[in-house]
Structure 1
Amino acid sequence: MPSVKSLTLTYDALNEAASFSEGDTITGRVTLALLKETTVDALFVKAKGDANVRWTHKSGDRTNTYSSHRRYFKLKQFLIPEENKDVVLPRGNHVYNFSFKIPRESMPSSFKGSYGKIVYCLEAKLSRSWKMDTTAHKEITFASKMIPNLPALMSPQIGSKQKEIGLFSKGNVNMDVTLGKGAFVAGETVVVVAKINNSSSSEMIPKFSLQQQIMYRANGHTKQEFHTVQKVVDHCVTAHIQKEVKCMMKIPKDLTMTIHNCDIMSVSYHLKVSLDISFSFDPKVVFSVVIIPPDLASGCQEGMAVGPYPAGAVGGPSNSDFPGPAAYPSSYPASPQAASYGYPGVNRYSTPPPAYPGNPPVYPGPPGGYPSPSAPAAGAYGSPPVPYLYGNPHTAASSRLHPPPTAQEFVPQAPVPTAPPIQPPPPSLSPSAPSYNFVPSAPMSNFDFLSQADEAPPSYSLLFPSTSPDANSTSDAK
């Protein structure tokens, strides 16, 4: 009599499509039904995702096989650890809960084709001594949300084609095609509008088709598949007429989503609008369309942000890893006077520049009357970097950053009484200094001492007369 009645595995669905995406958590239960008391070595559950490609090509008598494999993740959780061997379980049903966190890395959606497949599954395994392992297997649907340039795909797509018709007819034809958007959900209706200006003598038939292209890659070789998903043929457009044709095309509900992030296989879709003209090359307009998960499309239609950034995030390229500009709190002062800082004469700003780690403020100054705003979070790139005043301190080990000295804080003091100004003393009445009689200068001589005249030179007394009275009397006596 067998001891194990059944081993079943179930998981909890997150949405109507029961699909999972990057970063989701898979929760479920493993139920072990025993008919009698059983000794168990281990019980565990695994979650994994794999991609496989394989095809053969026959050339003469030789057959070549091309294959490739990719593993995206493998998670394992023990419900009965291996260390606890010879665990005896009583008869009855035993339910074990499990939980897995899917990695946030970009992974392709689930797919099954003629020469390859991408499968995500859960597997439970019961190990017993001297017995074959009992397993339970269940596939899960994985829908990748890593769609590049999705906002642009949700906008209208426009294409045109003009062709001159010759040989059996004359004239030209012009076709303008408008597609409401470039991203659709399986089961959605595609609306295509074509404005046809037939200025030729030929009749033409508008045709609309949705085509699927699958490419497999392995060992440096490729293999392609082409499938027509839907096709619509409209009424004939006669010669020398203008007509607007509107096509309503229903996408199948079981259509595989676009796969662009797998290196061994890819799935793409093209919407082709053409004019079937007899005895002439058919003009056509081709759009690349993307099949996306339903919840991703509803988020775009409601104006929600697509990708890892929340709604209302500032900036941020869809492939970028850097955070958006930092949003300063509303408590920052708005007036330059309230947010002034630094030395007098320094330019004033509404908010001071952020202080980065290891880099003090350029213009330190006295605290103002308002609280200093907190610095932005590390990694914010919204404010310009603060320049180094004395060179980059990281360029050399011996370099040091010497900021300007801190300005002294001005504290108003009580007025101090000042003494009256000191007046200069009045002039004293001292006697004036005695006057002096200076010796008069010698009179100007009019004699030319260098001349060759025979006249005798003037006497000394004539040139320098004496002022002394004694000398005069003596001279007179002589």
Structure 2
Amino acid sequence: MPSSKELTLTYNVLNDENTFSEGDTLTGRVTLTLAKDTKVKSLFVKVKGDANVHWTEGSGDDKTSYSAFRRYFKLKECLIPEDTLLPQGIHTFNFMFTIPQGNMPSSFKGSFGKIVYMLEAKMCRSWRMDCVVQTEFSFVSMSIPAFVQFPQERSVEKEMGLFSKGQVQMAATVDRRAYAPGETVAVVANVNNSSSKKMTPKFTLKQNVMYFANGSTKTSEKTICKMVGDVITPETEQTVTCPVEIPSDLGQTIHNCDIISVDYYLKVYLDISFASDPEIKFPLVIIPPGFSSVPQPGGAVGLYPPGAVGGPSNSDFPPPAVPVEPYPVPFGPGTYGYPAAPDPAQQSDMRSGYNNPLPQQASPYASPFSSSSSSSVHHPPPNAPAFHPPPTAPPMFGPSPTAPTYNLPPAAEMMNTNFLSQPGEEPPSYMSLPPPPATEKSPTGPDAM
């Protein structure tokens, strides 16, 4: 019967969208339930961000595989010292990570690749299978290139073919370029049907994904949503208005990953039977919630106002709707956790359990353990190893000679007279300059050298 009954991993949310960004603090807890006293070789938790692509082409002997991998970061925290004997019962371990700053892409899953940010807890025992539990979390990148929010306008004209006569003209506009999930694209199309055929205006939001590996490219296109307008009869002109809503769960535009790129565009076209359809494409940028998406003619759209480096917080998402208690309370002897939010100096050292600068409690491992199966034990982080500075190198040279002493000229007295209020008077002189030295005349004539 295995001694490990259950290993669970949970994390605390930061906002209503349950997302994280660069610089955010990720906290949570690992719970280990033991049916009997168990010697654990290691127990740790780590967080990482990876991108993978893979696809195959051909078949049989001509089958070729393409794959690529990118790692953006990996942080690890040891929860107990090595080869620790844990007593029977429930053990809870708290952890804290700070997501690094950097140009990292948002979470994404596609047909031939994915970008995943994951937490993982792992317990290792001698001569036993490792116990591993994983949970993904959604990462939203704030590394958005600057762009200008102007309305987009395009037009197309088409001559009809052999089975009809006349021509058709269409001009369409959208109110801006960038939208957040849940917003609505206002599309207006003016159609002049000077032909003998009827046609139907249609509006389609599409996602285009490109995967890159081993010098090759794989493209995947998917329709997100589609709207259909009323039929336009021959020899008529009509203006069609269509609101296209961006799905609330739609992924972000991705341009900062070298093996996966994600783009969106809105296709406006006229469906004509037995003829090629005239179409217009509007590129769209899907931005994260909280990103400034209002039109700003003449200026770039960004997370912060012009000239600002950043706000007091590392995330632009709104605060959670209800207070979140990221740290367990109360804290007593033998409790492993963080009693208060640490300052920035502490956060930089919390990526490993051995660099935890918080005050250490007395370790419970030296005392007899309770044999009760219902006991709940909270463990402190392991003590940091002692640091011994390297020896100081002996001096290679003797003492430097003493610099000569220079006597500074006496300082002038403080001037208390307001010369601007005494017109016509010369200001007093505070230093008599010596007369210039006599200039010797250079010899001239044949004796001059």
Q: Please tell me the TM-score bracket, short chain as reference.
A: 0.5 to 0.7
Q: Which amino acid aligns with 1:49?
A: G
- Mapped partners of 1:292, 1:170: distance in 2: 44
Task: Report deviation, 1:59.
Answer: 5.4
TM-score by length of 2: 0.63
Write the deviation string for residues 2-56 of structure 1: whole angstroms up to 9, x where unpaired: 3222111111111222111222221111112222222233221110111111111
Pair 1:206–1:412, CA change in 2 (3 A): closer
TM-score by length of 1: 0.60
Q: Does 1:117 align with 2:111?
A: no
* Percent of matched pairs sharing the same residue: 53
> Which stretches in structure 1 are left out of the alignment for 5+ residues?
317-407, 417-478
- Mapped partners of 2:158, 2:282: distance in 1: 18
Q: Which amino acid aligns with 2:280?
A: V
Q: Does 1:190 align with 2:168?
A: no
Q: Which amino acid aligns with 1:141?
A: S
Task: Report deviation, 1:281.
Answer: 3.4
What is the aligned partner in structure 1 of residue 56 from structure 2?
A: 56
Please point out which of 274, 277, 280 is paired with 1:285: 280
CA contact (8 A) 2:48 2:75 kept: yes
Task: Report deviation, 1:312.
Answer: 5.6
Q: Which amino acid aligns with 1:100?
A: F
CA contact (8 A) 1:216 1:266 kept: yes
Write the deviation string for residues 273-305 of structure 1: whole angstroms up to 9, x where unpaired: 012234543221101112222232xx4449999
- Mapped partners of 2:99, 2:234: distance in 1: 59
- Mapped partners of 1:124, 1:26: distance in 2: 14
- Mapped partners of 2:209, 2:116: distance in 1: 16
Q: Does 1:158 align with 2:153?
A: yes
Please point out which of 203, 206, 210 is paired with 2:205: 210
Q: Which amino acid aligns with 1:237?
A: I
Pair 1:156–1:39, CA change in 2 (3 A): same
> Which stretches in structure 2 are left out of the alignment for 5+ residues?
310-413, 427-449
Q: Which amino acid aligns with 1:107?
A: M
Pair 1:11–1:190, CA change in 2 (3 A): same
Q: Which amino acid aligns with 1:130?
A: W
Task: Report deviation, 1:227.
Answer: 1.6
Q: Which amino acid aligns with 1:183?
A: A
CA contact (8 A) 1:305 1:311 kept: no
- Mapped partners of 1:76, 1:245: distance in 2: 56
- Number of positions where the alignment pairs a residue of Structure 1 with one of Structure 2: 316
Q: Report which stretch shifted further, 88-97 or 154-163.
A: 154-163
Q: Does 1:311 align with 2:305?
A: yes
Pair 1:244–1:409, CA change in 2 (3 A): farther
CA contact (8 A) 1:274 1:285 kept: yes
What is the aligned partner in structure 1 of residue 216 from structure 2?
A: 221
- Mapped partners of 1:140, 1:222: distance in 2: 28
- Mapped partners of 2:52, 2:195: distance in 1: 52
Q: Give every structure 1 segment of 4 or more consecutive aligned residues whose post-TM-superposition deviation is greater than 6 Å.
A: 302-305, 413-416
CA contact (8 A) 2:47 2:76 kept: yes
Q: Which amino acid aligns with 2:223?
A: T
SS in 2 for 1:294: coil
Q: Does 1:256 align with 2:251?
A: yes
CA contact (8 A) 2:199 2:233 kept: yes
Pair 1:409–1:307, CA change in 2 (3 A): farther
What is the aligned partner in structure 2 of residue 70 from structure 1?
A: 70
Q: Which has the higher contact order (CA 8 A, sep 6+)?
A: 2
